[in-house]
């Protein structure tokens, strides 16, 4: 089955050591987009943390899948949104009564933190987006009034505190929340019903109805990429991927710091 559309994770998969698209990647993406093969970014990031990468790759008119499938944007407009209800976000906030870890709250292009601490500054540097400083209680009050929730809650801090948080949320809320640990010091929390695969299926149905998963190639490196890589026709892992990801991939390319995605595009497309 012909590969007609590409989906790629960003962090740990796509970017160079400088956390930008490399020259080789830009050239390969331009080559396939000239052949009418869309190159779609799919990430746990918020939209504004993905736009500058789209601009660098000259694919600003292409849809994006944000928050691991929680928000799908076409021409800048939402075609799908799934949020964590405010009452569940409140439970997470209450578990941090002693302020043992950092909490970031996200909805669409809004990112809220209670202070610009080490963790917020680190994310700001990584994503090139500056958060809004606002008390969690005020954010949740506003969201409740607007009938909004969180596309993502990010908890960052010392491993011992996040281990405890992870265990508590898993024991009590695993039916409602998807908990993902990209590192020992990070927990990314989303609605249980979404994933990168659900995001792909939504986008195909809405914008590329003649395409199926058999027309898709996808690139990834981490646990939240596994379902996506297993489902598409060609799931490609970068060499620096987690061992579990390497085991299920159809192909393994070079590392993200050594143009792995660019090399795989050249090989498969």
What are 64-104's pLDDT values in tens digits? 999 999 999 999 999 999 999 999 999 999 999 889 999 99
Q: For residue 11, how many other CB atoms are within 10 A of its CB?
A: 17
- 137 Cβ contact list (under 8 Å, min separation 6): 93
- CA count, 13 A, side-chain hemisphere, 29: 26
Query: For residues 237 and 221, what is the distance between their CA atoms, to the nearest angstrom?
Result: 6
% residues pLDDT > 70 (the chain): 100
- 147 Cβ contact list (under 8 Å, min separation 6): none
Query: For residues 203 and 186, what is the distance between their CA atoms, to the nearest angstrom?
Result: 28
Convert the pLDDT of each residue in 40-67 to its tens digit. Answer: 999 999 999 999 999 999 999 999 999 9
Q: At what angle do helices 23-34 and 48-57 cross, to 10 degrees?
A: 80
Q: What is the pTM of this model?
A: 0.94
Residue 1 has pLDDT above 80, yes or no: no
Residue 6 has pLDDT above 80, yes or no: yes
In 3-state terms, what secondary structure has residue 144?
Answer: helix
Torsion-angle region of 37 (φ positive above 0: left; ψ -120 to 50: alpha; else: beta): beta
Q: Kindly tell me the sign of the dihedral angle through the C-alpha atoms of 127, 188, 107, 131.
A: negative
Query: For residues 15 and 36, what is the distance between their CA atoms, to the nearest angstrom?
Result: 23
Count how many residues are written for the chain. Answer: 269
pLDDT at 18: 86
Q: Which domains does the chain have, with CATH numbers?
A: 5-81+194-268 (3.40.50.1000), 86-191 (3.30.1240.10)
pLDDT at 19: 87
| Mean predicted confidence (pLDDT) in 174-185 | 92
């Amino acid at each position: 089955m012909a590969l007609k559309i590409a989906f790629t994770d960003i962090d740990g998969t796509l970017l160079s050591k400088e956390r930008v698209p490399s020259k080789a990647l830009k050239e390969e993406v331009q080559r396939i987009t000239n052949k009418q093969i869309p190159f779609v970014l799919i990430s746990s990031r918020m939209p504004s943390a993905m736009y500058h990468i789209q601009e660098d790759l000259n694919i600003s008119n292409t849809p994006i899948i944000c928050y691991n499938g929680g928000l799908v944007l076409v021409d800048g407009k939402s075609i799908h949104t799934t949020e964590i209800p405010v009452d569940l976000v409140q439970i997470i906030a209450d578990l941090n009564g002693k302020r043992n870890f950092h909490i970031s709250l996200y909805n669409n292009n809004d990112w809220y933190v209670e202070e610009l601490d080490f963790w917020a500054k680190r994310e700001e540097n990584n994503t090139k987006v500056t958060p809004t400083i606002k008390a969690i209680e005020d954010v949740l009050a506003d969201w409740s009034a607007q009938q909004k929730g969180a596309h993502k809650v990010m908890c960052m801090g010392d491993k011992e505190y996040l281990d405890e948080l992870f265990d508590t949320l898993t024991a009590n809320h695993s039916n409602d929340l998807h908990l993902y640990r990209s590192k020992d010091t990070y927990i990314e929390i989303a609605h249980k019903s979404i994933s990168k695969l659900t995001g792909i299926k939504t986008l195909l149905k809405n914008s590329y109805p003649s395409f199926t998963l058999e027309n898709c190639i996808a690139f990834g490196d981490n646990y939240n990429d596994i379902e996506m890589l297993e489902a598409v026709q060609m799931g490609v892992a970068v060499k620096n991927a987690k061992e579990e990801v390497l085991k299920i991939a159809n192909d393994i390319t070079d590392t993200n710091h050594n143009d792995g995605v660019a090399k795989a595009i050249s090989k498969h497309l």
